[in-house]
Structure 1
């Protein structure tokens, strides 16, 4: 199915299946994935196993959102003829590789991982951190190496996970006596995470501060109206603060006319530019961006059997690739086999 691009660099990315995707996902990763599928051999992982590391109490939510996230992929322009969409939990080689790699990583190294330390604090786990959550960097290493990915798009805060993956790669290759696994490089997007419309946290459906890809015209209008600006910018003529102003953060992310954005910032800082006018400019950009995505999403949501076929076919292809990597590594390490 992908023979014409099999010699291209391999890229692995994906999303936890904890809810439908939103505008933050679009600017942070989805938009670039649509472009990268033409230059890379791209695998998209529906990370339901990873989602369980802090959602084991609600597996139904994780299961339900596998289809939701896959529908979002198709809606933004991911082409199954160019990108393999697959389900993490349906790839048993990933679990076996994770278990194997755990023998080459210490608990203290996992606890020192800056990404994991931060996430543990954010979730308030303290010493009650689920073992699956603590070991997530090892599971991610299994995902990346099973596909032999050389490029992994991640946020800047996730870069330590790629570093730990490459540590595991080097240890396993030394153990095997030859290079079986390949190291990966992190691809950090130029645009950071979008804040929620309230300006208090990253965009999140659970926080009620996200703009979903399926947002209606009215939903978009309401979200833009609610966007946090400068609370001390009480009158139009008052000088306003750009830093921390969510509207300007979104303009930086979505407006291609950089001269317009810079002039708007200068105007706002010196006074004379009102929040309502500024928000109208932003909404005028978001409405035409999301309208076709919303329409395509409604189309694919009405064809769940087709979406499931895409997932099944992609998972079959991914299973062949990941099992080949596992077999190669087992043989190189001299593990017991019945054959």
Structure 2
């Protein structure tokens, strides 16, 4: 089974698209897996507990992004985390199998704590969310998890918890997952300013951005501050326009020629930004159009989430029964 998902704290951006969404669609269409895709609203509360309206409003936006990129509810089960209470139960059991010291060593958590500026006021739910994530994967016996490169420490922690559970309770009912990662160099797309793409930093290009939004954002992209005149030689290292062209433009020969011309002098920033706009707009236009179509039937999208959540819960209950039996707490069969 394939298991993956996203937190509903806003619309999804092109970092999500390249980092995992494209992999999910390709694997779904391969017909080899049974994909379960979770909208992790419970996890979103770990750092948005004071803003439940944000999570509520974002739920549908994330679902629309899923459908727009090609995730098909006829091939993939899309469900909502809080609609499967067995996930919370398994998380509670898993918390007894991992130490505080191990959680503190998780590099992904350490980085995110620093980025969010929690200081000494780290919400307990945020601190232990790798355990919740392990339960999300294990409850559905996720064998394959398409994720970005930065999530490998989370997967390793999941594998450790699964091994500990199976060893403690002398069973093999839970499965150690393996990650499927994007092509090298595409795992983490920097934002418009060259730092990590983030909603909170306002440096992201969203899948739902209009053509005008896209152009305004590309015009603001960081290039080479020393490239003042067109005839000046420019640097491509750290130049976000070329970083994006390397990722999104399939015409590698043209990109190589543009790089050479830019480095030699004679190619202006606005010209390459216009070219990048064409490349990105060609990629996003069909996504944008499909999203608009699905958005016209919001009740249908919500029903899709309800149906997927009911199917997911039925699967979760099967695994949870086996977990309780292994732990010796299935007292009434």
TM-score category of the 2 structures, normalised to the smaller one:
over 0.9
CA positional deviation for 1:183:
0.5
DSSP 3-state at the match of 1:157:
helix
Are 1:34 and 2:25 an aligned pair?
A: yes
Distance (whole Å) between structure 1 residues aligned to residue 52 and residue 252 of structure 2: 44
Counterpart in the other structure of 1:20: 11
Alignment RMSD (CA, Å): 1.3
How does 1:299-338 map onto structure 2 within 5 Å? 299-338=293-332
Distance (whole Å) between structure 2 residues aligned to residue 117 and residue 207 of structure 1: 19
Determine which of 2, 26, 45 is the counterpart of 1:11.
Answer: 2
Distance (whole Å) between structure 2 residues aligned to residue 213 and residue 113 of structure 1: 30
Counterpart in the other structure of 1:87: 80
Are 1:214 and 2:208 an aligned pair?
A: yes
Determine which of 251, 255, 261 is the counterpart of 1:257.
Answer: 251
How does 1:280-299 map onto structure 2 within 5 Å? 280-299=274-293
Structure 1 residues 336 and 149, CA gap change in structure 2 (3 angstroms): closer
Deviation digits for residues 291-327 of structure 1, max 9, x if unmatched? Answer: 2211111111111111011101110111011111111
CA positional deviation for 1:149:
0.7
Counterpart in the other structure of 2:142: 149
Structure 1 gap segments, 5+ residues each? 1-9
Determine which of 253, 257, 261 is the counterpart of 1:267.
Answer: 261
Distance (whole Å) between structure 1 residues aligned to residue 94 and residue 176 of structure 2: 15
Counterpart in the other structure of 1:192: 187
Distance (whole Å) between structure 1 residues aligned to residue 18 and residue 160 of structure 2: 30
TM-score, structure 1 length as denominator? 0.94
Distance (whole Å) between structure 1 residues aligned to residue 68 and residue 151 of structure 2: 26
**Native 8 Å contact 2:84 2:316 kept in 1:** yes
Are 1:166 and 2:159 an aligned pair?
A: yes
CA positional deviation for 1:125:
1.8
DSSP 3-state at the match of 2:256:
helix
Are 1:182 and 2:175 an aligned pair?
A: yes
Counterpart in the other structure of 2:70: 77
**Native 8 Å contact 2:147 2:180 kept in 1:** yes
Distance (whole Å) between structure 1 residues aligned to residue 124 and residue 216 of structure 2: 41
Total equivalences in the alignment: 329
Counterpart in the other structure of 1:3: none
CA positional deviation for 1:260:
1.7
Distance (whole Å) between structure 2 residues aligned to residue 35 and residue 164 of structure 1: 26
Structure 2 gap segments, 5+ residues each? none
CA positional deviation for 1:203:
2.4
Counterpart in the other structure of 1:6: none
CA positional deviation for 1:259:
1.7
Q: Any runs of at least 4 consecutive aligned residues in structure 1 with deviations exceeding 3 A, and if so which?
A: none
Counterpart in the other structure of 1:138: 131
Distance (whole Å) between structure 1 residues aligned to residue 120 and residue 220 of structure 2: 38
TM-score, structure 2 length as denominator? 0.95
CA positional deviation for 1:91:
0.6
Counterpart in the other structure of 1:236: 230
CA positional deviation for 1:336:
4.7
Distance (whole Å) between structure 1 residues aligned to residue 167 and residue 111 of structure 2: 31
Which is further off, 280-289 or 308-317?
Answer: 280-289
DSSP 3-state at the match of 1:73:
helix
